[in-house]
Amino acid sequence: MKIPIKKGFLGNQRRITMMMDLSSTCDILCKQCFRTVLIPKSAKVSTDQIGILEREVFPYIDRLALSCTGEPLTLRNFKEGLKAAKRAGVPFIRIQSNGTHLSEEMSEFLIDEGLTHLGISLDGATKETFETVRNGAHWDEVIGNIRTFTRLRRERQSSSPSLCLNFTLMKENAEEAVSFIPFAVGLGADSVSFSHLILESWEMKDWSLLYDAPRMNALLADLREEAKKYNIPSHIPADVPDNIIPFDGQLIEDVPTHSGPCSAAEEDWMFMLPNGDIFACGNLQDQGPLGNVFQTPLKEIWLGARNQNFRRNALNGCVEGCDHCKIFASSADPSHEMSYLARRLTSRAAAEMDFESVHRRREPSSSAQTAPAHS
């Protein structure tokens, strides 16, 4: 049996990996983004609340994603958020951005302020594809911003923030995926990351390469070879099986117990919405928050029975509510279509997720006994 829970938390020890956004918003609308079907409830961390994070949350954080589901660089309080995390001594801070607001002045700020890692999503190697997928973003502007960033970093003889360029694989951009690697090298990227398309709506199935395993796996092999050729660190997802068992449309009524690895427990994750609600993992939002960091000290939330039980059970390989968590699904059950579908498309429990507006989904099949994931 595994050790139930690591000891010594909240002594002098930092151990939490925190994933959060300072705001629920984004300035563009990419065609594959969950925002095309769901609108997150509007929320923004205020300047006073950044003070609370600095005093009561950041001191316990080892690794911080200061943005993960929204766009950080458009936010007025982004700089204050980063400064607060630095003042609180967080050793590793990353952001994920669409690059539209990566101005020269912002690049200088990120480099000088000591951001650890910058991820920028491009999803294409040409203007045409980029602007088709990244609706509202302008290729010349974003590529110019990246060039300015890498130039400034060179001039300062700094290796941080490290730069990763991201690419979500789909039919629209597949032909540019291999050339994306030398393109990223030319831009001065330190790494590249490719990911399978998560199907956020039934329409997205038409864009997915998952159902054409020979083509997808040949592409993945080419990507691995190209990354090796250019000697650039890369994240390239695992091959897909050649017959994915289709999801039959039957919503999961009782979210089953998951047996298997759980990164959230093993790496001490916490996920925070911009309203301060906190969860053990972003995939557990339908179960309701463990607490709110603007009302209850993080230490109290961590030591609370729900959080402790979740972690104890998960470390012992048994957690409830993670019906097909994307973190393990691709390796645990890649042959099932559910692995590639957004969670709410398969689970009635996801109807509890706190979204402001939801477009009703198209049913996967007329015979399936389904109900709208949100109604």
**Interacting residues with ligand SF4 (CB under 6 A):** 26, 28-30, 33, 35, 70-71, 98
Residue 64 engages ligand SAM in binding (rule: CB under 6 A): no
Which of the choices ligand SAM, ligand SF4, none does residue 166 contact, using the CB cut-off of 5 to 8 A by kind?
ligand SAM
Residue 26 engages ligand SAM in binding (rule: CB under 6 A): yes
Residue 69 engages ligand SAM in binding (rule: CB under 6 A): yes
CA of residue 123 relative to chain centroid, distance: 15
Residue 168 engages ligand SAM in binding (rule: CB under 6 A): yes
Binding string to ligand SAM for residues 204 to 223, with x set by CB under 6 A, is what?
--------------------
Which of the choices ligand SF4, ligand SAM, none does residue 29 contact, using the CB cut-off of 5 to 8 A by kind?
ligand SF4
Q: Name the nearest CA neighbour of 64 among 258, 270, 218, 238.
A: 270
Is 343 within 8 Å of 350 (Cβ atoms)? yes
State the minimum distance, in angstroms, from the CB of residue 26 to ligand SF4: 3
Residue 23 engages ligand SAM in binding (rule: CB under 6 A): no
User: Which residue reads 């864009």 in tokens?
Assistant: 207
Residues from 79 through 108 that contact ligand SAM (CB under 6 A): 96-98
Which of the choices ligand SF4, ligand SAM, none does residue 218 contact, using the CB cut-off of 5 to 8 A by kind?
none
State the minimum distance, in angstroms, from the CB of residue 210 to ligand SF4: 19
Nearer to ligand SAM, 66 or 301 (CB): 66
Nearer to ligand SF4, 25 or 346 (CB): 25
Residue 346 engages ligand SAM in binding (rule: CB under 6 A): no
Structure token pair of residue 274? 């911009």
Distances (CA, A) of 190 to 92, 93, 119, 144: 17, 16, 10, 17
Q: Residues touching ligand SAM: how many (CB under 6 A)?
A: 19
Phi, psi of 142 (to 5 degrees): -65, -45
Is 81 within 8 Å of 22 (Cβ atoms)? yes
Nearer to ligand SAM, 49 or 67 (CB): 67
Which of the choices ligand SF4, ligand SAM, none does residue 168 contact, using the CB cut-off of 5 to 8 A by kind?
ligand SAM
Structure token pair of residue 4? 């139930």
Amino acid at residue number 32 = Q
Nearer to ligand SF4, 44 or 306 (CB): 44
State the minimum distance, in angstroms, from the CB of residue 167 to ligand SAM: 8
DSSP 323-350: TT-HHHHHHH-TTBGGGGB-GGGTBGGG
State the minimum distance, in angstroms, from the CB of residue 71 to ligand SF4: 5
CA–CA distance, 286 with 349 (Å, rounded to integer): 6
State the minimum distance, in angstroms, from the CB of residue 206 to ligand SF4: 19
Contact segment (CB under 6 A) with ligand SAM among 40-48, 67-75, 156-164, 256-264 equals 67-75
Is 104 within 8 Å of 137 (Cβ atoms)? no
User: Which residue reads 């990419």 in tokens?
Assistant: 30
Q: Name the nearest CA neighbour of 26 among 40, 15, 14.
A: 40
CA–CA distance, 297 with 19 (Å, rounded to integer): 17
Helix axes 104-113, 139-155, angle to 10 degrees: 40
CA–CA distance, 100 with 81 (Å, rounded to integer): 19
Nearer to ligand SAM, 164 or 319 (CB): 164
Structure token pair of residue 289? 């928050």
CA of residue 245 relative to chain centroid, distance: 26
Structure token pair of residue 134? 């990244």
DSSP 77-142: THHHHHHHHHHTT-SEEEEEE-STT--HHHHHHHHHHT--EEEEE---SSHHHHHHHEET--HHHH
Nearer to ligand SF4, 33 or 240 (CB): 33
State the minimum distance, in angstroms, from the CB of residue 137 to ligand SAM: 9
Which of the choices ligand SF4, ligand SAM, none does residue 221 contact, using the CB cut-off of 5 to 8 A by kind?
none
Residue 32 engages ligand SAM in binding (rule: CB under 6 A): yes
Is 227 within 8 Å of 234 (Cβ atoms)? yes
State the minimum distance, in angstroms, from the CB of residue 121 to ligand SAM: 3
Where do contacts with ligand SAM occur on this chain (CB under 6 A)?
Answer: 26, 30, 32-33, 67, 69-71, 96-98, 121, 123, 166, 168, 195, 197-198, 200
